Amino acid sequence: MTEQELMRVRIALLQAFLREHNLDGILLSRTDNFAMATGGRRNYVGIASDTGACSLFVNKNGDVTLITNNIEEPRIMEEELSGCGCTAHRFLWFEGNAAQIIAKEYSGAFVSDDGSVGDNVNSKLAYLRALLTPLELEKYRLLGQLAAEAMTATLSDVKAGMSEADIAARLIAEGAKRRCLVPVCLVAADARIAQYRHPLPTCAHLASDAVSENCVRGYVMVVGGFVREGLTVSITRFKRVGDVKTEILEAENRICGVDAMLQEACEPGKTLADVFSVCQRAYRELGFVGTEWHNHHQGGTTGYAGRTFKGSPHEMFPILDELWSSRVKEIAGIDIEFGHAFAWNPSAPGVKSEDTFLLYPDGTKQIVTLTPAFPTIDLEAVLERPTPVVKSGFLEA
């Protein structure tokens, strides 16, 4: 599959969406949807905004137009959309914006992903962000490897006395070396790991010795969300630099068991609600408080977003539904099978498990964030049965 064929499939998916909702066109301005529609192209200048610096207009016939000011048009057309069969509607930077251009020069039943034109349908595009072609699955394998390498390089250099901020800077730098953005970078040392599920890095320093038997010290948690060509990989790892309490190590093994059961439950034909029922049971069976899952979302599908759908008791996202394959065949005459990527992240006070894995159209799975430099947890002992899932334990100092 070529990049041009990938974009043709992506545009066919948007055509199917427009037909389903009886619409004439859609304006895509968000960075995630621009990437989704183009197979990973970039429309942003700064990475701190959900909205890019230019927009893509797709009509029901599959015509694609870049709506852009004169600042962005040369680079986007030459470096991002060259050879994609896309035309450009250019305006001077002081003469308005994409929504105003659509209102002035186009007519029809239009929507957008940010509410600037017609209804905001961003939430309805989530399923398209979760569909992955064979080429995107291939890109995911590379991204997972790069993320795992960046995480391993970062934690290999971590020593007692380093600040959370310094560790975060290293992770971001290791990602950049591999042409990955790291928009999610969470670091917690020692007691902060148990205090917060989303610990933004601070100037707190990683300690190696406990000042009392009740003081939790000696380990660090690093969470990375890596983005490359619009796709997202999530990974969490730990390193110990002191004498970590046995109960923490034991709890980490058990939470990895929860993650393993979630991975095993992701099967074609099931819904995320089906998988989540396994999650609830796994917490109980592996010795956690039955309501522990209330304290943090558990992850779900990923793709052209950190989480395209989060698992919950009520989330009816259908795993490997063949509906969209048939629609692409009908519109573009292309035979295509889609896969998914998942990133579950079960957690409990002081422990967490998170990897990204692929579910292929034939139902096989592959963890793409394996870190062989880390010790491997004996999941068969945790679950008291065989499992194909592999999970990493604490890296040793």
> Which element (helix H / strand E) includes 137?
helix 134-156
b or e along 378-394 (b: 16 or more beta carbons within 10 Å of the residue's beta carbon)?
A: ebeebbeeeeebbbbbb
Q: Is the domain defined by 134-396 classed in CATH 3.90.230.10?
A: yes
- Say how far apart CA 1 and CA 320 lie, in whole Å: 20
Q: Can you give the residue ranges of every domain in the chain?
A: 3-129, 134-396
Q: How large is the average pLDDT for residues 166-172?
A: 98
Q: pLDDT for 19-41, tens place per residue? A: 999 999 999 999 999 999 999 99
Q: How large is the average pLDDT for residues 36-58?
A: 97
- Say how far apart CA 125 and CA 116 lie, in whole Å: 16
- Residue 167 amino acid letter: I
Q: How large is the average pLDDT for residues 35-61?
A: 97
Q: For residue 212, what pLDDT is reported?
A: 44
Q: pLDDT for 177-200, tens place per residue? A: 999 999 999 999 999 999 999 999
Q: For residue 397, what pLDDT is reported?
A: 85
Q: pLDDT for 99-150, tens place per residue? A: 999 999 999 999 999 999 999 999 999 999 999 999 999 999 999 999 999 9
Q: For residue 115, what pLDDT is reported?
A: 97
Q: Is the dihedral of CA 351, 377, 390, 40 positive or negative?
A: positive
Q: How large is the average pLDDT for residues 272-290?
A: 98
Q: For residue 217, what pLDDT is reported?
A: 76
> What is the CATH code for 3-129?
3.40.350.10
Q: What is the CA radius of gyration of the chain?
A: 22
The pLDDT confidence band at residue 216, using thresholds 50, 70 and 90, is low
Question: In sequence order, what E strands does 272-331 have?
Answer: 299-303, 305-310
Whether 134-396 and 3-129 are alike in CATH topology: the answer is no
- Say how far apart CA 15 and CA 283 lie, in whole Å: 42
Residues in the chain: 397
Alpha carbon of residue 272 to chain centroid: 16
DSSP 120: B
Work out the percent of the chain whose per-residue pLDDT is above 90.
96
Asked whether the predicted pLDDT for residue 215 surpasses 90, the reply is no
> Which element (helix H / strand E) includes 186?
strand 181-189
Under 8 Å between Cβ of 342 and 266: yes
Asked whether the predicted pLDDT for residue 211 surpasses 70, the reply is no
| Residue-averaged pLDDT of the chain | 96
Q: pLDDT for 299-346, tens place per residue? A: 999 999 999 999 999 999 999 999 999 999 999 999 999 999 999 999
Q: For residue 260, what pLDDT is reported?
A: 99
